[in-house]
Amino acid sequence: MDSTPQKKNVLFIIILASFGYFVDIYDLVIFSIVRVKSFTEIGISGEAEMLKNTQYVLNMQMAGLLLGGIFWGIIGDKLGRVKVLFGSILIYSLANIANAFVNQIDMYAWIRLITGIGLAGELGAGITLISETMSKEKRGYGTMIVATTGVLGAVAAFYISEITTWRNAYIIGGILGLVLLAFRMGTFESKMFKNSQNSEIPRGDIVVLFNTKERFLRFSKVILVGAPIWFLVGILITLAPEFGKELNATETLSAGKGILYCYIGISLGDLIAGLLAQILKSRLKTVLIFQVLIITFATIYLNSENITPQKFNILAFLIGIGTGYWATFATIAAEQFGTNIRATVATTAPNFVRGLLIPTTFFFNFVAGKTNLITSAYITLFLLCAMALISIFTLKETFSKDLDYFEI
């Protein structure tokens, strides 16, 4: 790792992974940003219809992420991390271009499902490749750079949606992915993966995650560490207009601007979390601190009667900071398991977290039907954070852990 060519290769991987995640996040959040404009144009109107179809399309996208997480994770361990980086970006880029031509809700939802399948591979493969290529003391910096750069894709998505039509915003996202695909031609595999190919130990066998109680619980705990993140982004921020009405907002709250400020906060949060983990030499203690931030900022938001758009934007930014441990969470997932199953875990765990939004949405709607949006949000928030905290206290610390081993 000390030679100049090796350092250049590592830098090349970090740069390409960063811009890959940038495009990934752009394409992931573009629906939340343009949903009102796009729904209105294809004939969906009325508060109830907007809410129902928002959750329909979002759940289809999340289902795609869930399916794609399993598919790309297995491919990453069996055929290589680089093949995932190529295949996933090709699928979600073409799907986003196709999204520009939808004219009815079912077509919209199915294309977002395909988009989700493609989007599922990007982060896990990139984090795995970096974790296996950089030194164990410094790999946290690599994943921090990827996440900090990548989440700014949401900022780009917002501003592009402001200066062009929603259809063009989808096309631009797809073109960005295809351009990046061309630059990835020189990406190389990690030595750990290459060495694992010489072993007779099965790679990418997802059954390994479930064939012992300890391993299954470890995998489950990793997923639950990230459980609160997508609830805040996918429900509290995406449904800003609906929450604003419940809070007697002075003006209609903009989900698009909420996504913008939230992801600026996530970018800063990822930077803070990465640096804090290096200072504390603990990823779990860092995530614990961020759980406190999530509960604090979300509680302030849900208690903000007569909220103004300005206050909402500030709170969206602060909530973003609180959920900015995403890269640290993905690194924890990669570090918890051996080389033969690492890509599977690093890819499935983040997407299972995203996929958790589906049952979370059903639970949230059920409780909201019995109470109201605010009460339901409180109950869902504290339930998810409680599960995350239990997982944090029962997982083993992985900072500076040697990753060159197999799960058998």
Mean pLDDT for the chain overall: 88
- Where do the H-state alpha helices sit in 281-325? 283-302, 309-322
SS (H, E, C) 335-357: HCCCHHHHHHHHHHHHHHHHHCH
pTM (predicted TM-score):
0.80
pLDDT of 5 strictly over 70? no
- What are the C-alpha distances in Å from 229 to residues 220, 236, 345, 348, 388? 16, 10, 18, 16, 10
pLDDT category of residue 4 using cuts at 50, 70 and 90:
low
pLDDT category of residue 319 using cuts at 50, 70 and 90:
very high
> Looking at residue 1, what is its pLDDT?
41
> Looking at residue 238, what is its pLDDT?
86
pLDDT tens track for 85-113: 889 999 999 999 999 999 999 999 999 99
pLDDT of 261 strictly over 80? yes
pLDDT of 403 strictly over 70? yes
**Closest by CA position to 393, among listed 288, 303, 296, 319:** 288
Phi-psi label, residue 397: left if phi above 0, alpha if psi -120 to 50, beta otherwise: beta
- Where do the H-state alpha helices sit in 134-254? 139-150, 153-163, 166-183, 191-196, 213-225, 227-231, 240-246
Coil, helix or strand for 27?
Answer: helix
- What are the C-alpha distances in Å from 296 to residues 8, 290, 303? 42, 10, 11
> Looking at residue 216, what is its pLDDT?
92
Q: Which of 77-91, 235-249, 351-365 has the highest mean pLDDT?
A: 235-249
In this prediction, what percent of the chain has a pLDDT beyond 90?
Answer: 50
pLDDT of 153 strictly over 70? yes
pLDDT category of residue 255 using cuts at 50, 70 and 90:
confident
> Looking at residue 186, what is its pLDDT?
66
Give the span between the Cα atoms of 261 and 152, in whole angstroms: 10
Mean pLDDT of 231-238: 90
pLDDT tens track for 109-148: 999 999 999 998 887 788 888 888 887 778 878 888 887 8
Structure token pair of residue 217: 């619980």
Coil, helix or strand for 186?
Answer: helix
Mean pLDDT of 176-197: 78
Cα-Cα-Cα-Cα dihedral sign, residues 388, 297, 364, 241? negative
pLDDT tens track for 24-79: 889 988 998 898 899 999 999 887 888 889 889 988 998 898 899 889 988 888 88
Mean pLDDT of 222-249: 92
pLDDT of 373 strictly over 70? yes
pLDDT tens track for 278-295: 999 999 999 999 999 999
Coil, helix or strand for 42?
Answer: coil
Query: CB count, 10 Å around CB of 257?
Result: 18
> Looking at residue 286, what is its pLDDT?
96
pLDDT of 182 strictly over 90? no
Position with higher pLDDT, 394 vs 140: 394
> Looking at residue 2, what is its pLDDT?
47
Q: Which domains does the chain have, with CATH numbers?
A: 4-186+204-394 (1.20.1250.20)
